Structure 1
Amino acid sequence: MQNLTKLKRLNLDGNQLTTIPALPSSLQELKMNDNHLEGLQRHNFRGLFKLLTLELEGNQLHDGNVLPTAFKPLGRLIYLRLDRNRFRAIPSGLPASLQELHLDSNHIEEVTESVLNKTLNLTVLVLSNNKLQEDHIAPRAWIDLPKLEALDLSHNRLAHVPSFLPRHLKQLTLHHNCIERIPGYVFAHMKPGLEFLHLSHNVLRDDGIHAVSFLGLYRSLAELLLDNNQLQSIPRGILNLKGLQVLRLSHNRIRNIPLNSVCDTRVAEDSNIVSMHLENNLIDRRRIPPTAFSCIKAYHSVVLRPQENEEEDY
């Protein structure tokens, strides 16, 4: 295979390879998903200085059989996929050129202080379906990564939104955790601020969201997904989210829509909301104040049917 000196892309998915074969230095993309790879040594990638994409999903890789020097020859690698392996921590020695790192469905329990301190070009980090708890994420694990814009921590064991989030993050995905609380000021250090916050399928109650929980996101946040939680009212601070376009609060326990909880009737300005989902709550639609949604331009933007305590109208 080394003789194929013009080969740029090689797909070896779904075989029974236990080691990485000798490969031509012309390669830019290598896929070896769903094999039986039993480890990574430094010589495995020797000469692959042009490689941009490496996918090793669904193998038998873990902390004990991937050497910190394994990725050293890959000086131009920008995309690395290691999903469905057996890592307990993020592998060390990652290339400084890396822009996307996927570690979905491993056994990762912690993120240490220094493991990402060389990956200053990282823009996307996926750690979904792992075993992370917020007290096992080091305070300086990723706060200073200058380009990290998308962080996926869904399907973990988080009990509250983690502190010390990356300063320049735009998308934060936290659905399917055990989150009870959005601490006050947890987003306050972020510039320019999150655009997308996904908190569906958690255990958020009213007392877990404070008046200053969304501080730092007042101008930036466009999508806030809070469906499938245990909220009994419209969360405090929603009025302050001036850039909000999508708000999902379906499948909660909300009973009332008080005046000035969605629209501030004291201020004559339109909301940017184009989609607001409130279905599958406990709302009596007859008790909603007539001007509760007056700032939302299109009537069909607000979805209220069906409710759990009423029969669907036809």
Structure 2
Amino acid sequence: MMNFFSIIVIPAVYATFTAPTIYVKKTNEAEFTAISDMEYETCPTVLEIHNLKENSDILDMAFLEGLCKSVINIQRIRISGNFQGIGEGLFDHLLKLENFQATDMDSLTELSISSSNLKHLDFSRNHLEKVDIEFKDDLVHLNLSRNFLEVQNLYMNTMSHPLSLQLRTLDLSYNRLTKIDFFLSFWNLRNLLLNNNKIEHIKPGMLQKYPNLLVLNLARNKIHEMENGVFIGLTQLVNLDISHNNLNDINVQIINSLRSLEELNLEGNIIDNFKYNELEHDMEILKINENDTYLHGKKIDGEKLATFINVTRKIFVEVISDLFLRSKSENIKLICYPTMKSPTILHITTLMVATIATDSFGKRHDFEFTAIGERDYHHCPTALEIENTKTDEFLDIEYLDGLCKNVVGVLRMRVSGNFYGIAESLFNKLPRLEDFQGNDMVNLTDVTIGTWNLKFLDLSRNNLEKVSIEFMDELMSLNLSRNQLTDDNVMMTSMRPPLSLKLRLLDLSNNKLTKLDTLYPFWNLKKFILNDNQITNIKPGILQRYPNLVTLNLSRNKLLNLPDGMFTGLIHLVNLDLSYNQLSDAKTKIINSLRSLEFLDMIGNDITEFEYEELDHHLEVLRINEQHTYIHGKRVAINKEPKKTTTSTEMSSPSFTYME
């Protein structure tokens, strides 16, 4: 059972507004989830808002002040959901705000802001078509990737001198830019990410605006020519990626002018006659095409490259193991490689993604990396990520064999993009695969698979209309949320008895389910997430299939009543969310039957009367309606209906590491 005392501590470090649930996370900071409509004298320093209201809101001071008082103390904000705009002067009023992240907002198409005191600003993965930003000195990272920005609708201005601007990373990847002539001068910029745009030409001297640039990514554009002088002034450039453009030749003298260059990627172009012997210095990695890859000046094949990777694995672990073991963080993700010349120096690269991780006891650390998909290696990496931007593909063992050999060694896999299907026997042929994540595949509508040795399976955020899964013993977590699944099209089978199945988490939220009758019994299930469906009724005895359930989320469905016996057998249930349904009676008798219950949320229903005295035991948190909210048995006042809810419980950390 979780203690509620942490929520009482007002000067909190991190809070997420959510409905329902208050929980304490075991980290090096005091972190908790606050009740969304409680009013505090002092806002938490970290605030996450996911707005699910049908009508889009403007995020401004009035909105924030409706959540908590003294908003000027907020240091980090993350928002998503139905926001159609950001108040133009918002950041000027939030004097302590350093980190602002706003993603996955389909309604956000236009933005006009000043960066004020911000250090980190992330507006990636929205539908932005027009952006006007005034830069102030303190901004260090700006991410506008994965939007719909075109040249004529991107405005950058500042009253500061270029040397005063502290911007280190500018990410404009995955937009519709055709040129970069209009960009401001950022003399301190280190990372410029422009991949996956429509850039055709870069004028000589244009990049002189960024004299301290270390990483420049121009991959997957439409560049057909590199003129002499295009990279003039980039004396510090270490990593240059111009792969997958339309180049048929490149003057070697252009590369020779980049004296600090350590990694160059030219593959995916039409360069047939590269004059390697005219290069004046050896690079760590030079990739010209499928047949020409050089490592420290020596041409290598796939087998030697695999050997190099194994060597760097050992060096990498030796270099940072002490730092890592002293870290209090549970996960550290780095995109880097240690140079063979100086193993203590780490550089960003596209060659591999290294993940160092510990389990909950801090005893395990694995080295994992993602190899470049279009090369042919003798040994696949243990963690493989694939984003297919080509025409529709079918994900099967033959497709994977085309990326790298010995795919049986893969432990973790993440796929996205243009895949229309997954082979039924795929996981059977990957005996070591434990973790599979397949998201954002709009053409994936039907899946029939067996879980085999998988422990974690995530097929959320697709367009799945039909799923057929045969469960094996090992699977612990299954996420099918945010699809188009209906009752008759979710088929779960197993040859194993329910007691042997290890499934702990089942997430079917944000689908189109109306009942639970057809779902498989999972006796070891701990967390069942069913919010944002269309469930109208749950027959008594159905939930007995999940006798070890600890958390049950049925919020935002269409439940009309709670029949007697509905929760029979749920003797371990601690957290129950029935908010935002169509209930008219709280039924204290049913609440009394749940002897382990600590958190109950029924707000957003049609319950007008509640007799608290009829309860047999006090709950940590009980929310019935605006007039009846109790904490540790004491009734508290609520001022207004919450403006947002979320099932998210964490702020995500950046998925890449920058060179400073």
The bucket for the TM-score relative to the shorter chain is 0.7 to 0.9
CA contact (8 A) 1:123 1:147 kept: yes
How far apart are the structure 1 equivalents of 2:434 and 2:560?
40
Structure 2 residue aligned with 1:212 = 565
Q: What is the SS of the residue equivalent to 1:130?
A: coil
Relative to structure 1, is the Cα distance of residues 139 and 92 closer, same or farther in structure 2, using a 3 angstrom cutoff?
closer
Amino acid corresponding to residue 232 of structure 1 in structure 2: S
Amino acid corresponding to residue 50 of structure 1 in structure 2: G
- CA drift at 1:107: 2.5
Structure 1 residue aligned with 2:376 = 22
Are 1:31 and 2:385 matched, yes or no? yes
Give the alignment of 1:1-314 within 5 angstroms.
3-5=305-307, 6=310, 9-11=368-370, 21-25=375-379, 27-33=381-387, 35-36=389-390, 38-43=393-398, 44-45=400-401, 46-57=405-416, 59-63=417-421, 66-85=422-441, 86-92=443-449, 94=451, 96-112=452-468, 115-117=469-471, 119-138=472-491, 140=493, 144=498, 146-163=501-518, 164-191=520-547, 193-206=548-561, 209-217=562-570, 219-235=571-587, 237-258=590-611, 261=614, 263-264=615-616, 270-271=617-618, 273-280=619-626, 283=627, 297-299=632-634, 302-306=635-639
Q: How many pairs does the alignment contain?
A: 272
TM-score, structure 2 length as denominator?
0.38
Give a deviation string over 1:270-311, Cα, whole Å, max 9, x none. 43x21112344xx5x6xx9xxxx7xx7452xx5552367xxx
CA contact (8 A) 1:204 1:231 kept: yes
How far apart are the structure 2 equivalents of 1:26 and 1:38?
20
TM-score, structure 1 length as denominator?
0.75
Relative to structure 1, is the Cα distance of residues 230 and 256 closer, same or farther in structure 2, using a 3 angstrom cutoff?
same
How far apart are the structure 2 equivalents of 1:180 and 1:55?
35
Where do 5+ consecutive residues of structure 2 fail to align?
1-301, 314-366, 642-660
Relative to structure 1, is the Cα distance of residues 241 and 70 closer, same or farther in structure 2, using a 3 angstrom cutoff?
closer
Q: What is the SS of the residue equivalent to 2:409?
A: coil
- CA drift at 1:49: 2.8
Q: What is the SS of the residue equivalent to 2:592?
A: helix
How far apart are the structure 2 equivalents of 1:50 and 1:243?
44
Choose between structure 1 and 2: higher helix proportion: 2
Give a deviation string over 1:242-291, Cα, whole Å, max 9, x none. 10111111122210013555x13xxxxx43x21112344xx5x6xx9xxx
Give a deviation string over 1:181-206, Cα, whole Å, max 9, x none. 12110112334x21000111111122
CA contact (8 A) 1:102 1:125 kept: yes
Q: What is the SS of the residue equivalent to 1:187?
A: helix
Choose between structure 1 and 2: higher strand proportion: 2
Where do 5+ consecutive residues of structure 1 fail to align?
265-269, 309-314
CA contact (8 A) 2:370 2:381 kept: no
CA contact (8 A) 1:214 1:237 kept: yes
Give a deviation string over 1:45-80, Cα, whole Å, max 9, x none. 4413332110113x11122xx433444442111100
Relative to structure 1, is the Cα distance of residues 109 and 152 closer, same or farther in structure 2, using a 3 angstrom cutoff?
same
Q: What is the SS of the residue equivalent to 1:188?
A: helix
Percentage identity across paired residues of the two chains: 23
Q: What is the SS of the residue equivalent to 1:56?
A: strand
Q: State the structure with more CA Rg.
A: 2
How far apart are the structure 1 equivalents of 2:549 and 2:374?
40
Relative to structure 1, is the Cα distance of residues 245 and 167 closer, same or farther in structure 2, using a 3 angstrom cutoff?
same
Please report the RMSD computed on the Cα atoms of aligned residues, expressed in angstroms: 2.9
CA contact (8 A) 1:221 1:244 kept: yes
Amino acid corresponding to residue 506 of structure 2 in structure 1: L
Amino acid corresponding to residue 216 of structure 1 in structure 2: G
How far apart are the structure 2 equivalents of 1:88 and 1:171?
26
